[in-house]
Structure 1
Amino acid sequence: MRDFFIRSLEKLIGLIIVLMIIGLIIGVIAIAMGGGMGPYGQGGGIVPALLFLVFGGLYIVLIGGFMYLGVGIYQNTLRTAQALEAGKTAR
């Protein structure tokens, strides 16, 4: 049962990352087309869209990396415990 939840979490993390990438692309297109009206007048353009793309991409990489890091730590800990148990029973 525990493995089911861990595998489900990995799939959910992948889905979240894909949705974040889709949102980033939609946001870049919206900003490039002149969206994002601010309090100081007209917003949007190619430069803000590129900045949004760069910093949004960095954010997705960092957040996705940290989420997969947490799952990886769990898996490494599980393998270490299994190796220790296998060594203990071999004696």
Structure 2
Amino acid sequence: MPLRCRVGDGPWQGCAMEVEELGARWTLVVGKRRIGFRHDGSGTVRMQNPIRGHQRGSSGGNWIAVETSWIAGPALCWNGVCAQGDIPLD
């Protein structure tokens, strides 16, 4: 699925979403970065620290709770990591 992503104040660029479990575990691949996300169904989304997001798995970096928001575009964002396009939410 074609997506565009932005990390922080960086430029929008092509990216990919790898879904491990729909609505629960996914990874955004932005350039050489791999940013993991986990959602346990309670409303809390955890994101792998994007500084270390190129490493895969829960041992690859710090996991932090993030807020999910929509911005104009529309784009879905998690603490400054944004994705725009056909995002499978559930």
Going by fraction, where is strand more abundant, 1 or 2?
Answer: 2
TM-score, with length taken from structure 2: 0.20
Going by fraction, where is helix more abundant, 1 or 2?
Answer: 1
TM-score, with length taken from structure 1: 0.20
